[in-house]
Amino acid sequence: MSSSELTAVPDGEAPSASSETGTTSAARRERPAVGWALLGSELSVMFRRWRTWAMLAALAAIPLLIAVAVRITGGSSRGPAFLGDITSNGVFVAFTALVVCVPLFLPLTIGVVAGDTIAGEASHGTLRYLVIAPAGRLRLLAVKYVGSAVFSLAAALAVAVAGALIGMLLFPIGPVTLLSGVQVSLGEAYIRLLLISLYIVVSLLGLCAIGLFLSTLTDVPVGAMAATAVLAVVSQVLDQLPQLDALHPWLFSHYWLGFGDLLRDPISWDSFGSNALLQLGYIAVFGALAVGRFTTKDILS
């Protein structure tokens, strides 16, 4: 209660119900503002770090390396999907780069960011200050997760945009022939590239939740980062074993390369919906585990 409210109450009388209600309402209005301020601070810190920009630059360099290699060698039908189409249309540089980055490079960078969310604060001795009210532990977890998701978006767009630009510079561009054999305009091709980038972001949301949970288990960020990246690799290895067919639909990496359906006419949204539902399940499970662990954890640093 403010000093003006205290002076408005005569000596010996209890504060009025209206003043208490006003104070409570003001506190409730303040909580969302605190959450947005915390999120803004988190994103600001994340994108001021050299490590963040180094990872984004490394991802953007992958389509550059692919394009230069194809330009020098003249291309080949052997290799990742869409590689043989690059010489005829530079738009396929971006598509090829995304295919290359999804299995390893994107999960690796996401593992670094997600694994550092809580453990990194603990290792720097700043975690106990962040959980002090009005921030709170649940709000802090939500902000850290959203920060990881935003980085996932930035990472996917870094690959897609860099691929589109370098393809435009080194190769001819024009209407794109889809997997279904239908030719679409260059503008529509870029729209589909954006949709594929969003598909990949959705694919990585489950991994972000896993990394967040692992980050609550330790004060050593390197351990959480490594564990997150290793789980991404293990999931993909298990997905390749035919003996585990029954397990495949439950693996968070199962639909990672299903974005080929977005390059058909008409677009098939089946894999997108299945992927989103699967990632939502991982977010719910590992988000709940993270909440359970973090809300009962003794924070000493």
pLDDT 10s digits, 70-127: 999 876 667 777 888 899 999 999 999 999 999 999 999 999 999 999 999 888 888 8
Give the model's pLDDT for residue 24.
47
The pLDDT of residue 30 is 54
Spans of the chain below 50 pLDDT: 1-12, 14, 17-20, 23-24, 26-27
Predicted local distance difference test score (pLDDT) of residue 11? 47
Cβ(34)–Cβ(138) under 8 Å? no
Distances (CA, A) of 224 to 230, 236, 238, 258, 266: 10, 19, 21, 28, 41
How far is the C-alpha of 157 from the C-alpha of 161, rounded, in Å?
Answer: 6
Please name the residues in contact with 269: beta carbons below 8 A apart, sequence gap of 6 or more: 261
Q: What is the pLDDT of residue 76?
A: 67
The whole-number pLDDT of residue 107 equals 97
Q: What is the DSSP letter of 102?
A: T
What is the per-residue burial (b if ≥16 Cβ within 10 Å, else e) of 8-46?
A: eeeeeeeeeeebeeeeeeeeeeeeeeebeebbeebbeeb
pLDDT tens, position by position, 210-233 = 999 999 999 999 999 999 999 999
The whole-model pTM stands at 0.87
Amino acid 300: pLDDT = 64
The predicted structure's pLDDT at residue 77: 64
115 Cβ neighbours under 8 A, 6+ residues apart: 211, 214, 215, 221, 222, 223, 224, 225, 226, 227, 228, 229
